[in-house]
Amino acid sequence: MKSLRILINAASAALVVAAHAQQKSAFTYPDMLMLDRISGLVVDPAGTTVLFNVRATDMEKNRGVSTLWMKDLVNPSKPEVKVPIGEGGAYDVQWAADGSGFYFLSGRGEGGTSQVWKADAKGSTATQVTRLPLDVQTYRVASDGSGVVVALAVFPDCGANAIACTVERMKAQEGVKSTGQVYDRVFMRHWDNWTDGTRNHLYYLSLKDANAQPVPLMPGFDGDCPTKPFGGNEDFVIGKDGRTVYFSARVAGKTEPWSTNFDLYSVPVSGGSPKNLTVSNPAWDASPVLSPDGAKLAYKAMKRQGYEADRFQLKVMDLATGAVSDVAPAWDRSASSLAWSRDGKALLVTADDIGKHRLFRIDTKTNAVAPLSTDGHTDAFVETPKGFVFQKSGLSGPAQLYGSAPKAKLIDQGATVLTQVNASLKDKTFGAYEQFSFPGWNNETVYGYVLKPANYVEGRKYPVAFLIHGGPQGSFGDSWSYRWNPQTYAGQGYAVVMIDFHGSTGYGQAFTDAINEHWGDRPLEDLQKGLAFALGKYPFLDGNNVAALGASYGGFMINWIAGVWNEPVKALVSHCGIFDARAMGYSTEELWFTDRENGGSVFTTPANYDTFNPMLHADQWRVPMLVVHGDKDFRVPLTQGIGSFTACQAKGIESRYLRFPDENHWVLKPQNSMHWHAEVFGWLEKHIGGGR
């Protein structure tokens, strides 16, 4: 293992040295791993100050380190400054409604639990707001500052006394030497964790009374808010009058792994049984957002139960009458982030759109949809009294914060760059890129992107990295990633081709639905035609040296290509890919996914899973393959990767297996990511050349 680390470090150092040999060096994966990452955009009510987090990478400690920063919007020429109280850890920041200061979560207090704190407007001093015996997962403060709603992980069967009961159980468990755990539900693991019986529940705590006790808002509720594992405070909101909390949650029961039936609930801050507001919809209701006057609740809703890639449509509920109206029902895009406009006349929504992630304004009366951004990926936004402050990234570079020009119809045209994070990138060369389209399956228009190598020379041909996205309902478009980043391939001397095949998002719901029960034919036809089109259109692509790479569904497609379309590729990289569709159907955790994509359960319609089962075509495998898998991947279980590698080894195919015992479906730790990139680029260089 020591020799392996030396090899990786030496390879990385050589890449860095080579990258700086030229006056303006190519952007490479060591550069990417050391970039600072912006997140957590919040603006004060007056629109004068923006706060945001910056995550730096500590390679030595193999982790990210987050700090809090402040930017003056009145004098945007002044550089951003680090907030003093941020040194003790400050995240999940929220401004007080009166602008007197801001709240944040931190574990700086006694006991080391994550609690709510409040700082003055300059961030120079901070006082602790909550003192609870459990970690605060996330929170929201009432607009009048009278109280706070916090999310705590508790044992739901403890009832109204769940906090104290949970603490007692955890202490009792510390002395137990047996490691055995008993489950009576199949949803015993999720993403990368085995369930421990706790649920995220909401509690209300008055801030007017120092002796106030937390009021349970979900006593005995068999479900989570925020939803696990990635939910946040977008899952709940406090009413304008501070008396009611609205939240989204799913009743678990024993059907949880098959259900996407999240509902919206209301509950008084004084406690009681939550009231289901969307009981008539058997599918997903999410992201409750209050109108500026507090009279209406906007939210997102799907129609089809058990289908996580259904279109999120927009709804508005009149809280006085309970009447629900559809907003822009004919708009064929799936809403992502959601907010009300300041005037309360429109919804501000981001959504995938033709290979981009754009911001839209949707009039709630006329249903008129107007784009507010052009290209790239709108990561976050806030409408202030003086215009928009937004975070944007794209194929051209990582996220920065911007301020829109006065009265701009498109916020990213003429916008002011507010932050100078990663200023050293001005000395780096990125690959030029272009979007293209071609007739794909059923002669329908399909889009893709091509990138030139960073230090492109006219007249040369370059080996091709053919990147295939996961999801499968996802997109490889004009966006930035710290895992599968096409610019790192361009920096290593590869041309890149990416196709948004049928099943991708941002092209209408019918286009997304087209992949259901068609994992191996319609998308494959798009990939075949897309690669052929790109090779014919762009002379710098070397069609004799192509490697295909993908993760998750992309990994499935790599395994599928290995058996049914292996002529045009010289090397394959399968990351967390499905090898045996039947085994995936009974060993993954979110079973609604495999059931929907295969047209039924593996227990009732097993033949469906063999229609596009890579394992059944492994006898045709012949192309060298690098297989990557994390031990903690419960979405595509570990044996899927082992199966792919075993098939290669059994057939005598050149292959390597890269195992990460401490990673899940993604590779997140900095040193692991460095290793991943070194292995992948070493594999490509060996089989198709390149490597700059």
SS3 of 654, please?
coil
pLDDT in tens, 232-286: 999 999 999 999 999 999 999 999 999 999 999 999 999 999 999 999 999 999 9
pLDDT band at 3 (very low <50, low <70, confident <90, very high): very low
Segment 169-184 shows an average pLDDT of: 93
Residue 584 is assigned to a structural domain of this protein = yes
Residue 588 is assigned to a structural domain of this protein = yes
How open is the CA angle 692-399-140, to the nearest 5 degrees? Answer: 145
Region of 508 (left: φ > 0; alpha: ψ -120 to 50; beta: rest) is left
Q: What are the strands, taking DSSP E only, across 440-580?
A: 445-451, 462-468, 495-500, 541-551, 571-575
Burial of 445 (0-12, 13-18, 19+ CB in 10 A): exposed
Residues 263, 285: Cα–Cα separation, whole Å: 5
Residue 676 is assigned to a structural domain of this protein = yes
Region of 517 (left: φ > 0; alpha: ψ -120 to 50; beta: rest) is left
Residue 312 is assigned to a structural domain of this protein = no
pLDDT in tens, 9-26: 444 444 443 434 446 899
Residues 268, 322: Cα–Cα separation, whole Å: 16
pLDDT in tens, 133-144: 999 999 999 999
Residue 126 is assigned to a structural domain of this protein = no
The CATH number for 474's domain is 3.40.50.1820
The structure tokens listed for 46 are 């007056």
> What is the Cβ-side half-sphere exposure of residue 313, based on CA atoms within 13 angstroms?
19
Q: Please give, one letter per residue, the 3-state secondary structure of 188-251.
A: CEECCEECCCCEEEEEEEECCCCCCCCEECCCCCCCCCCCCCCCCHHHEEECCCCCEEEEEEEC
Residues 568, 452: Cα–Cα separation, whole Å: 20
Q: Which residues 6+ apart lie within 8 Å of 543 measured at CB?
A: 464, 535, 568
Q: Which residues 6+ apart lie within 8 Å of 178 measured at CB?
A: none
Q: What percent of the chain has pLDDT over 90?
A: 94
Residue 406's pLDDT is what? 86
Assess contact for 47 and 414: CB atoms under 8 A: no
Residues 611, 380: Cα–Cα separation, whole Å: 41
Residues 532, 526: Cα–Cα separation, whole Å: 10
Residues 114, 149: Cα–Cα separation, whole Å: 14
Segment 443-458 shows an average pLDDT of: 97
- Total of domains in the chain: 1
How open is the CA angle 208-209-214, to the nearest 5 degrees? Answer: 105
Residue 23's pLDDT is what? 64
Residue 613 has pLDDT above 80, yes or no: yes
Residue 662 is assigned to a structural domain of this protein = yes
Residue 652 has pLDDT above 80, yes or no: yes
Q: Which residues 6+ apart lie within 8 Å of 377 measured at CB?
A: 356, 357, 392, 393, 394, 477, 478, 479, 480
The structure tokens listed for 444 are 């329908």
pLDDT in tens, 533-571: 999 999 999 999 999 999 999 999 999 999 999 899 999
Which strand ranges, in their side-by-side order, compose the sheet holding 81-82? 37-43, 49-58, 63-72, 81-82
CA 594 to each of CA 353, 519, 520, 590, 677: distance values in angstroms, whole numbers, following the listed order: 26, 11, 14, 8, 30
Assess contact for 655 and 623: CB atoms under 8 A: no
SS3 of 155, please?
coil
User: Comparing C-alpha atoms, which of 549, 547, 559 is closest to residue 618?
Assistant: 559
The range of the structural domain enclosing residue 453 comes to 429-688
Residue 160's pLDDT is what? 80
Assess contact for 57 and 34: CB atoms under 8 A: yes
Residue 651 has pLDDT above 90, yes or no: yes
* Segment (H or E) for 513: helix 509-513
Residue 356 has pLDDT above 90, yes or no: yes
Mean pLDDT of the chain: 95
Residues 473, 510: Cα–Cα separation, whole Å: 12
For the chain, report the end-to-end CA distance as a whole number of angstroms. 27
CA 473 to each of CA 203, 302, 362: distance values in angstroms, whole numbers, following the listed order: 35, 15, 24
SS3 of 373, please?
coil
Residue 274 is assigned to a structural domain of this protein = no
Segment 91-107 shows an average pLDDT of: 97
User: Comparing C-alpha atoms, which of 408, 411, 369 is closest to residue 391?
Assistant: 411
Segment 635-651 shows an average pLDDT of: 98
Q: Which residues 6+ apart lie within 8 Å of 367 measured at CB?
A: 327, 328, 329, 330, 331
